[in-house]
Chain A
Amino acid sequence: MNQSLLFLIPLLPLVCAVLIMLFGMRLPRLVTETLAVSGVVAAFLLTILFWGYADGEGTRASLGTWLAAVGVEIPFALYFDALAATMTLMVTGVATLIHLYAVGYMHEEADYARFFGLLNLFVFAMLAIVLADNLLVLFLGWEGVGLCSYGLIGFWYQKAENANAGTKAFLVTRVGDVFLAAALLWLFALTGTLTISTINAQASTISPEVVIALTLLLLLGACGKSAQLPLMTWLADAMAGPTPVSALIHAATMVTAGVYLLCRLFPLISLSSVGMLAITAVGALTALYAATCALAQREIKRVLAYSTMSQVGFMFMAVGAGSVAGAMFHLITHAFFKALLFMAAGCVIHLAGNENDLFRMGGLAKRGPRDVFWAFLAGAVCLAGLPLTGGFFSKDGILLALFSHADPVYQLFWGIGALTALLTAVYTFRLVYLVFAGEPREHSHSHELPGLMRWPLWPLALLGLGGGLINLPPLFGGHEWLSHRLGALAGREIVAAHGTEWLLAGLATVLAALGWLVARWRYGRFAPPRDNRVSRFLLRGWGADAAVDLLVVRPFTAMARFCFIGCDRALVDATLDGLARQTTACGERLRAVTTGRVSTYLAAFVWGFLIILGGFLLALVR
């Protein structure tokens, strides 16, 4: 088989996206939906078909030159190695299920062509990030996912708040992108190439200070996309988009792009211990911050959004602790169970009659279909990290990597991670109890659930619960398949005594159980929410939006106002307007001369004649 066939993986969703965007509304609805799903399914099947290409060093494929100048040549090139293949399989697999779910979810939506077109375009852009051989192709995908995210968050743009949420997401992630672009240009200036493997190979020739700066720039770029501190404010608002979008873009794939970027450039960033420490710190702080925010949220999707932030923070911690395999492991299991949770939450909102507020739900276990409850519970136990679920193993791996790190500072981050794990269990079971336990608190008209919204939950539930098998540690009789598959890309080898591993696993179990008990004690029987200062503080996300408003938005608005009113209007416009007004006034004064009376003209004529005559006479006299 030809290696260029690898290009079919990203290009098929792109072709489907273009077809849907051009002809989607003219084709029968079924055809458009089939087209949308088939593009992603085809990419998924092709990934399985080409799986062997990822063996060993992986496979490179080039489709031609993108940019060519003196000394620069950047091709459209893909690199299909173990890391990219694993990620591609996850992205296409989850995207397939979410596309199927979206067909059910959007069955009453009139503007379905725009939705599916953007969704397929997103899959293309995401695959461009994952498969990119050079950083420019990666950047193309990076901006592409941002664009699709913007279009899909504001999908119901008739409501101003949705459109604003889209704009906010776009602008905040753009801040990160600026840093990423700076890092790319700097890397290009240093190495003369943008090919990822060449940069990684040449990383050791770059001076250590520059590596630190580059790592911090890359970290900020990753923070924007992955909603980490301090660029995290957009993710909670991004829940304004349709639920399949939240599941695909803002839980499973796009927000993990930052983690993937750091994993891709791991040989570079691992050279600077300061950079690694910064990555871990950002991850740890975000994990804790988002977990506390999730404790107090009232909207079901916002809880999940904050938990996504928190879990991505765990992945950052894993990268910072040097365990790429751990990060990828958690990335994959998280994609499964978080997509599952979002899709189940979509079902819940549907069943509760488009009610988003947790405090007005309740009793759905009795009222709704049992399968939604079980699916949601499956996702919840994975998120809470109950033993033997996928989330348990992946989170435990990260905590172990932190705990066993040589640098004692990482013990502190391990402590934060453990605390976050406890909080995660608390807010997860709070969610479960508030939604499903007890009696319905409001009797609202529940919608019929289409079958397509129900059965994609099951594969994801199985994948989430059994996700631990991907990288089962030897302690539990596994072979760490993912770590072996990643080989040299897996990062630092984690060495820990069996006793430590048992201790940490036991502690994780205790924390999850403790979280469950706390949630059961507090929310097992519904009590009206107490409205105190702490809960308000957490509900508003520690006032992050207000801080951004105060520190960035208002000074910026003031500056824009000064430029517009102070400079543009008062200076430029006023000068030009004044000139124009003076000219007009002169014209007005001259207007009085043209009376329209013949006699005036004749008199002027005669006077003129006399003046000319006088001139001639004077000339004659001289």
Chain B
Amino acid sequence: MIVPFAHILLFAAALFVMGLGCVLARRNLIMILIGVEIMLNAAAVALVGGSAYWRQVDGQVFVVFLMAMTSAEVAISLAMVVYLRRRKGTLVADDFDGMRG
């Protein structure tokens, strides 16, 4: 393997933390979704790396599943974004506090 396994894992971890930061820090719903996507892709990178390292195909199969799941997730969440935007006229996540105690 040209790239060392440790680098791949570090890259995946960095990607995950950035995604997490995006999810936590941003208030726009779309940006939060993008953060989630980045975190998912970080997981996918780690899986592909693992697959290459152990020369097993399972990781790649997982990634294919992950892609399918992600596309479904994006479709649903974007639909919800559209719906929420219509309902409240805003996309700021903090405005949706209907569950406040």
Contacts and interface: CB of A to CB of B under 8 A. Distances in A.
Interface of A: 591, 593-599, 602-603, 606
Interface stretch (B41-49, B53-61, B64-72, B92-100): B92-100
Given A602-B23, A606-B24, A591 B94 contact: no
Contacts of B20: 606
A603 B32 CA distance: 13
A588 to B, nearest CB: 10
- Which 7 A-B pairs give the minimum distances between C-beta atoms? A596-B100, A596-B97, A594-B101, A596-B99, A591-B101, A597-B94, A598-B93
B27 A595 contact: no
Given A606-B20, A606-B24, A599 B94 contact: yes
Given A594-B99, A595-B97, 14 more contacts: A595-B100, A596-B97, A596-B99, A596-B101, A597-B93, A597-B96, A597-B97, A597-B100, A598-B94, A598-B96, A602-B24, A603-B24, A606-B20, A606-B24
Interface residues of B, number: 13
A70 to B, nearest CB: 64
B62 to A, nearest CB: 22
A53 to B, nearest CB: 84
B75 to A, nearest CB: 20
Contact of B100 (A594, A599, A606): A594
B101 A599 contact: no
30 contacts: A591-B101, A593-B101, A594-B99, A594-B100, A594-B101, A595-B97, A595-B100, A596-B96, A596-B97, A596-B98, A596-B99, A596-B100, A596-B101, A597-B93, A597-B94, A597-B96, A597-B97, A597-B100, A598-B32, A598-B93, A598-B94, A598-B96, A599-B24, A599-B27, A599-B94, A602-B23, A602-B24, A603-B24, A606-B20, A606-B24
Interface of B: 20, 23-24, 27, 32, 93-94, 96-101
Nearest to B97: A596
B35 to A, nearest CB: 10
A591 B100 CA distance: 8
A603 B98 CA distance: 18
Nearest to B98: A596
Nearest to B93: A598
Nearest to A588: B101
B100 to A, nearest CB: 3
Contacts of B27: 599
Contacts of A603: 24
Contacts of A599: 24, 27, 93-94
Contacts of B101: 591, 593-594, 596
A597 B98 CA distance: 8
Contacts of B96: 596-598
Nearest to B101: A594
Contacts of A593: 101
Nearest to B95: A597
Contacts of A595: 97, 100
A578 B8 CA distance: 61
Query: Could you say which of B27, B97, B101 has the most chain A C-beta atoms within 10 Å of its C-beta?
Result: B101
Contacts of A594: 99-101
Nearest to A609: B20
Contacts of B94: 597-599
A596 B27 CA distance: 14
A378 B21 CA distance: 113
Contacts of A591: 101
A522 to B, nearest CB: 86
Nearest to B96: A598
Contacts of A602: 23-24
A590 to B, nearest CB: 8
Contacts of B23: 602
A602 to B, nearest CB: 6
A443 B23 CA distance: 100
A594 B97 CA distance: 9
A340 B14 CA distance: 113
A603 B23 CA distance: 9
Nearest to B100: A596
Contacts of A606: 20, 24
A606 B101 CA distance: 21
A585 to B, nearest CB: 15
A595 B99 CA distance: 7
A594 B27 CA distance: 18
A495 B97 CA distance: 106
A603 B93 CA distance: 13
Contacts of B32: 598
B30 to A, nearest CB: 14
Nearest to B32: A598
Contacts of B100: 594-597
A597 B96 CA distance: 7
A132 B3 CA distance: 114
Nearest to B26: A599
Contacts of B98: 596
A70 B56 CA distance: 91
Contacts of A597: 93-94, 96-97, 100
Nearest to A601: B99
A127 B100 CA distance: 74
